[in-house]
Amino acid sequence: GTKAPQAAGKIHSDFERGFIRAEVVAFDDLMACGNMNAAKEKGLVR
Per-residue model confidence as pLDDT tens digits over 8-46:
899 998 888 888 888 999 999 999 999 999 999 999 999
**For the chain, domain boundaries:** 4-41
Asked whether the beta carbons of 19 and 8 are under 8 A apart, the reply is: yes
Asked whether the beta carbons of 25 and 39 are under 8 A apart, the reply is: yes
**How many Å apart are CA 37 and CA 16, to the nearest integer?**
25
For residue 14, the model assigns a pLDDT of: 87
